[in-house]
Structure 1
Amino acid sequence: MAAKKPKLDERDVRGVKELRALLPLFERLHGVGCERDKAGNRVLHMDEYSVLILLFLFNPILTSLRGVHQASELKKVQKKLGCPRTSLGSLSEATAVFRAEGLREIVGELADQLGALPHDRRLDGVTQRLTAVDGSLLTRLPQIAQAAWQGRRRPDGWRLHAHFEVLRGAPTNIEVTTGRNRKDANEKASLRRLLEADRCYILDRGYEQFSLFNAIVAAGSSYVCRVREDHHFTPEQARDLGPEAIEAGVLEDAVGKLGSAKSVRIEHPDHPVRLVRIRAQAHPKRGGAAGKDLVLATNLMDVPADVVALIYVHRWQVELFFRFFKHTLGCRHLLSEDPVGIEIQTYCAIIVCLLISLWTGKKPTLRTFEMIRFYLIGWADEDEVLAHLEKLKTH
């Protein structure tokens, strides 16, 4: 029989004082979900619930919703965070009442405060915001196995669709769908719903769809997307390759029509498409010859071919973010299996990412996140945090 976990003590939950400074950021959420509460009987409000989620993410002592419940019973937490004592049932049913839209607004406001990180100055020639897009499954095998055994719905987990601003090093938009990459949960369908103007979307081959390219252009944005090599392409203008393009491995740069005119059932790009073919490098761990060439489709016409290749290289940043997100911010443990609950926890985790970037001026990393947690729980002092950040500058 597993030993019973000891009950939380006031001394176990640290960093409450620092989190108190964030309360004004969440005040706007206080009335969310209170539309039907005419009598004013609601005890747990959206702003209080969000701050408790942040406490969970920052404090390694808290590992479950039950731990969050115990923390809410502590007088120190109640006093400094302004959170009332709440029942486990109230925390569990909160996702049926609250909505995540307000947290999305906070994410946008924090992202707007971020300045550009150090980067290759060639990217400054792209006037639109470079935004890498991808999706990743949020699954925990014990939870998924239990759900399947008990016959619950959605035993396939959840998929997180993220938009990551390359030059700011931070996520700016997310959506949570079911894990199966079908219908409304499809990655391309999610991108259609989240399209914004004045962005350059960096996409992998899973987003290859002519009608999606048209939607991106219609939204006032652009794209750089890897596409299959065997697409029918009718070149109308071959571009000369400069020394920078040749050095970057560019083999071909042409503008024309993508897709065969004989395919009447398929919607074709309604704009000129530029194809940039790049020599693929052999994977250092796999050895052997280089693989198939990379073929990038884009509607960027005024950007040099070597910069188009450089833009696509930065798509990997969103995958690095997913790794940090899932292994660092506690999202390996989902506090809720409800899509709204997962979305709220996800937005709170992204707020943590943005706060780390704003506090440190750096991309959030595992070591930096750990150091900040050590500081918040009293294991590290301010000088040690500053020394850690100074060390980052030397790498």
Structure 2
Amino acid sequence: MNTGRTVFAQLLGVVPFSHFEHLVDKYQANRWTRDFTAWSHFICMAYAQFTRREGLRDLIACLNSQSSKLYHLGLRQRVSRSTLADANERRDSALFEALGHRLTEMALALYQDHDIGLGLKEPLYAMDSTTIDLCLSLFPWADFRSTKAGIKAHTVIDLRGAIPVMLTITTGKVSDVSLLDNLALPKGSIVVLDRGYVDFARLYLLVQQECSFVVRAKGNLSFHCTEAHPTDAKAGVWSDQTIVLTGERSKKGYPQPLRRVRFYDAVSCLELVFLSNRLDLSALTIATIYKQRWQVELFFKWLKQNLNVKHFFGNSLNAVRSQIWIAVCTYLMALIAHKPFHARISLRNFLHLAEVNMFEKVTLAQMVTNALTGDEIE
């Protein structure tokens, strides 16, 4: 009989517990309760994410049916709906946000040498947002339109491992471009943006921070071409120019030359125009960099399909923030645990294996091997 740790315990083991306790003290996360600690709260919500529970009643029933197995993980009592609901409402979401930042640091250390195949020395990031629709009567603080509510998760991911390095949760009314004011990346970084982020004054501030950008241009751009570069129509590069902006507001906001690349994507049959401050890169490299922006869309899709970020266990802003940050923590825990097996199995399938083997006492390596070979667990 295997007397080792369960799969769920191994996944929770990714979390540096001493640092978690430090964060609990920092945010005084246990000051209003003696029994249902922050760690117990995290176990419950991480279980909800790994097993994709969609309702509070469903979650509580499943937790209490496994109470003997959860006891050894640190959940020492049966959980009631009111206890978990109160914890989601009252415990500061900043605790789980800080934990997410620590797990991000751990994931970045693992994936820092990951090659995304562009031959770039600089780190590459993608920035975008996703909207999560809510019921206006249940979430009145998240008013978005006259008949619906919604929140936005503004996210920056490191493309070396699809690791979220920045996540800001706002109501749906907050514009995407305003989040550029909060963007802080390492010097020399390249960030890929969609055309919703075209604000030349903000982009120029990014350049002054010694960062680079590749952004899709809007159709009404006013500019003057100062130099035309050789093109390669067979590769999709229809034009490659060095330009200066001529619009009164835009040239004041961005007074330096820009690169303008017009590219035809044969796969989507779309003509795309890119702007960048990188005058040294080839036009095809700039187009290829922009294609990497799709990874942030896949990240949002992955979260929504494989974790629980659309059904919430509380209606307050704090409860919603806590659940989204715990979902991100769960993603990062899975990403870190999956790293030794990334060549053998996808992260999605690894997560599904963890879900069905949650309380099996088998190593993660053996779990993956069993799934790939069909061998039974000893």
TM range (shorter): 0.7 to 0.9
Question: Helix, strand or coil for the counterpart of 1:229?
Answer: coil
Q: What whole-Å deviation, never above 9, does each CA across 1:173-193 have from its counterpart, x for those lacking one? A: 21111123xxxx211112321
CA distance in 2, matches of 1:84, 1:221: 50
The answer as to whether partners of 1:111 and 1:172 remain within 8 angstroms in 2 is no
1:124 to 2:115 alignment? no
Q: Tell which deviates more after alignment, 16-25 or 329-338.
A: 16-25
Deviation at 1:99, TM superposition (A): 3.2
Equivalent position SS for 1:341: helix
Kindly indicate whether the alpha-carbon contact (under 8 Å) linking 1:29 and 1:46 is maintained by their aligned counterparts in 2: no
Q: Indicate the SS of the match to 1:147.
A: coil
Instruction: Tell whether the 8 Å contact from 2:186 to 2:211 is kept in structure 1 after alignment.
Output: yes
Aligned partner of 2:257 in structure 1 is 272
Residue 98 of structure 1 is matched in structure 2 by: 92
Equivalences, count: 351
Match of 1:165 among 129, 148, 158: 158
Q: Contact 1:32–1:99 at 8 Å: present in 2 too?
A: no
SS of 2:119's partner is helix
Q: Mapping of 1:55-134 within 5 angstroms?
A: 55-60=47-52, 62-69=53-60, 71=63, 74-82=67-75, 87-94=80-87, 95-100=89-94, 101-115=97-111, 116-120=113-117, 123-125=118-120, 127-134=121-128
Partner of 1:8: none
Are residues 1:194 and 2:183 paired?
yes
State whether residues 213 and 277 of structure 2, in contact with CA within 8 Å, keep that contact through their aligned partners in structure 1.
Answer: yes
Q: Secondary structure at the match of 1:124?
A: coil
Q: Deviations over 1:208-235 (max 9, x none)?
A: 1112211221333111000123311112
Do the aligned partners of 2:177 and 2:197 also contact (CA within 8 Å) in 1?
yes
Kindly indicate whether residue 26 of structure 2 is the aligned counterpart of residue 44 of structure 1.
no
Give SS of 1:270's match: coil
Q: 1:49 to 1:82 in 2, by over 3 A?
A: same
| Residue equivalent to 2:314 | 336
TM-score, length basis structure 1: 0.77
Q: TM-score by structure 2 length?
A: 0.80
Any unmatched runs of 5+ in structure 2? 1-5
1:30 aligns with 2:24: yes
Return the offset for 1:130.
1.0
Give runs of aligned pairs for residues 1-395 of structure 1, distance below 5 A: 15-22=7-14, 24-25=16-17, 26-34=20-28, 37=31, 42-60=34-52, 62-69=53-60, 71=63, 74-82=67-75, 87-94=80-87, 95-100=89-94, 101-115=97-111, 116-120=113-117, 123-125=118-120, 127-139=121-133, 144=135, 146-147=137-138, 154=143, 155-180=148-173, 185-198=174-187, 199-241=189-231, 245-260=232-247, 263-264=248-249, 267-281=252-266, 283=268, 290-291=269-270, 293-361=271-339, 362=342, 365-378=347-360, 383=366, 385-386=368-369
Q: 1:53 to 1:322 in 2, by over 3 A?
A: same
State the structure with bigger RCO (CA 8 A, min sep 6), 1 or 2.
Answer: 2
Instruction: Give the counterpart letter for 2:355 in structure 1.
Output: R
Q: 2:60, 2:15 → 1: CA distance?
A: 19
State the Cα RMSD in Å.
Answer: 3.2
Q: Distance in 1 between matches of 2:70 and 2:126?
A: 38
Whether the 8 Å CA contact 2:43–2:75 is kept in 1: the answer is no
Alpha-carbon distance, 1:303 to partner: 1.6
State the distance in 2 between where 1:152 and 1:338 align.
8
User: Structure 1 residues 212-221 or 152-161, which shifts more?
Assistant: 152-161
Distance, in Å, in 2 between the alignment partners of 1:41 and 1:55 is 21
Moved more, 105-114 or 65-74: 65-74
**How many angstroms apart in 2 are the aligned matches of 1:375 and 1:270?**
58
Query: Which sections of structure 1, spanning at least 5 residues, go unmatched?
Result: 1-13, 284-289
Query: How far apart, in 1, do the equivalents of 2:219 and 2:156 lie?
Result: 26
Match of 2:3 in 1: none
Contact 1:33 1:99 in 2 (8 A): no
Secondary structure at the residue paired with 1:318?
helix
**Secondary structure, aligned partner of 1:52:** helix
Cα 1:153/1:117, change in 2 over 3 Å: closer
| Deviation per residue, 1:265-318 (Å, 9 max, x gap) | 8843133211111124363xxxxxx44x21101111222211111000111111
Query: Residues 313-365 of structure 1: CA distance to partner in whole angstroms, max 9, x if unpaired?
Result: 11111111111101111223222333332222222222222233322333964
Query: 1: distance between equivalents of 2:43 and 2:70?
Result: 10
Amino acid of the residue matched to residue 222 of structure 1?
S
Q: Report the CA distance between 1:250 and its aligned residue.
A: 1.0
The SS at the match of 1:376 is coil
Is the 8 Å Cα contact of residues 238 and 255 (structure 1) preserved in structure 2? yes
After superposition, the Cα gap between the structure-2 partners of 1:271 and 1:340, relative to the gap in structure 1 and judged at 3 Å, is: farther
Q: Letter of the aligned partner of 2:225 in structure 1?
A: P
1:69, 1:32 → 2: CA distance?
Answer: 29
Deviation at 1:134, TM superposition (A): 1.0
Partner amino acid, structure 2, of 1:136: T
Letter of the structure 2 residue corresponding to residue 17 of structure 1: A
Q: Secondary structure at the match of 1:189?
A: helix
1:264 CA drift (Å):
4.6
- The SS at the match of 1:370 is helix
